[in-house]
Amino acid sequence: MNTQRPLVCATAGSCHSSSSKGQASHDEKPQFIGVREPRNIRMFHHRDLGYPRRINNKVLPPELLLMIFEHVYADSMLNGEWIPCSSQSHATQFPFAPAAVCKTWRDVLELVPKFWTRIIINLDTTKLSDVDEYLHLSQKLAFEITITRDQQIVAHSRTNSDDEGPRAAAVMARIALHIHRCRSLCFQLLRSSSLPALRHLNLRAPLLQRLKLQCGIDDGEHPLVGSEVPERWNFYAPALRRLFLNGRNFRDACALHWAERLPSLEELSVSRYSGGKHPTGELHLHDVLLVVDRLHRRFGNLQMLALQDISFDGILTRQGGYDIQIESVSLQSINLSTARAIFMSKSGPAPRLVHIKHEYAPIWHIRLTQADTLVLEGPFTSMSEAISIWDGSCLSIRNCPSFNDRTIPGPD
């Protein structure tokens, strides 16, 4: 009779025997029982010891995976909309991150169309076939899509992005087939010439609420842009609430009298325009103020105006003043003469919030009175003169070395 006791290796939460008899309680601590020859023991490294462990994803049934993904999806939503996230790469975003774990996870994710209603396209890593697949997976649901670049690649090849435009155009051609159910369309590219040309977007987008055509540098026109406005043009987007355009596309919006026909528009942002008397047209401060004036008079919904990194071809403000009664104005890297013209040409109350960000510029000659909240960001000069004519209730100074205890005089 063999009296040799079986060799038992027990780890946290379970007990395994070479004779396959019985199972220990889940409360037992890791221990070795009846060890006769330690050199024959096959060790299982505990995760607390820092050793890598292979996870077998197949042990999770599809029903449990689906429940987990539903919770992750819910955490990514707020009031029925996707929570804003970093769009530089979809590698860490839902559903792309879990879909990359294994085929089983991806198969489960592909069963639910709503999981694929936020699409992030990285021109440096995403294949065109992937774009088609993502759009197909969302089926007939409304979706939002962001087309961007890999910032690490851009940082090392700022002068070698000749293929950015063709790649962006190929993606836009695929989106156009589904634009009727697009709720948010955002292009965040390096060059202005790579952005879709607004004057060639003859599309109907009844669900579109956010449109962003933004770039890092203004290098010229889209190759399709000529000197003439198309005879037939109808970019239909009545639900548009947030509009972010680079300077050249905003200039076209003005020429086409489109921006001022948006009844739901709440936020308008214009950025990246180098100026310089372009053959395809010019952009004047008058164009911006006129659009804001007409939007306010017709619909009264516009709440925010943002101008960033713009060198206007001219000011051309009118004597009567513009009705730009909006809640907030943000000016970043804008010529101070332009900022002064904006506040001098307005009619009615000042915006409740004024944010000015600039580098090494005096602001004492800008009329900032009546603005309830004033935010100044950057190493401004003549700070005390500017504050002395401001009579609001909330002042915020950011990144300004010239601001100190002596800037604001104390009571007499």
> Structure tokens of 15?
């007990």
Q: What is the pLDDT of residues 364-375, one digit of tens each?
A: 666 666 678 888
Q: Which of 171-180, 291-300, 364-373 has the lowest mean pLDDT?
A: 364-373
pLDDT on residue 28: 43
- Render the burial of 41-79: b for 16+ CB within 10 Å, e for the rest: eeeeeeeeeeeeeeeeeeeeeeeebeeebeeebeebeee
Q: Regarding predicted confidence, which is higher, 199 or 295?
A: 295
Q: Which domain holds residue 145?
A: 61-223+231-240
**For residue 278, what is the DSSP state?**
B
Q: Are residues 108 and 200 in the same domain?
A: yes
Q: Which of 40-44, 54-58, 92-96, 125-129 has the lowest mean pLDDT?
A: 40-44
> Rounded distance, CA 284 to CA 280, Å?
14
| Residue after which a domain boundary falls, among 212, 240, 268 | 240
Q: Are residues 71 and 125 in the same domain?
A: yes
In a domain, residue 392? The reply is: no
Burial of 38 per CB tally in 10 Å (0-12, 13-18, 19+): exposed
Q: For the residues 18-33, what does the mean pLDDT come to?
A: 42
Q: Are residues 196 and 119 in the same domain?
A: yes
3-state secondary structure of 16: strand
In a domain, residue 199? The reply is: yes
In a domain, residue 270? The reply is: no
> Structure tokens of 38?
């330690």
In a domain, residue 377? The reply is: no
pLDDT on residue 79: 75
- Answer for the pair 205, 236: CB distance below 8 angstroms, yes or no: yes
> In degrees, to the nearest 5, what angle opens at C-alpha 149 toward C-alphas 89 and 109?
35
pLDDT on residue 407: 64
pLDDT on residue 311: 92
Q: Are residues 235 and 91 in the same domain?
A: yes
In a domain, residue 262? The reply is: no
In a domain, residue 16? The reply is: yes
In a domain, residue 259? The reply is: no
pLDDT on residue 130: 92
- Residue 39's pLDDT band (cuts 50, 70, 90): very low
Q: For the residues 259-268, what does the mean pLDDT come to?
A: 93
> Rounded distance, CA 373 to CA 232, Å?
44
Q: How many domains does the chain have?
A: 2
Q: Are residues 121 and 151 in the same domain?
A: yes
Q: Are residues 93 and 218 in the same domain?
A: yes
Q: For the residues 248-253, what does the mean pLDDT come to?
A: 92
Q: Are residues 140 and 43 in the same domain?
A: no
In a domain, residue 44? The reply is: yes
Q: Are residues 83 and 176 in the same domain?
A: yes
> Rounded distance, CA 43 to CA 47, Å?
12
- Render the burial of 230-250: b for 16+ CB within 10 Å, e for the rest: eeeeebebebbbbbbbbbbbb
- Residue 212's pLDDT band (cuts 50, 70, 90): very high
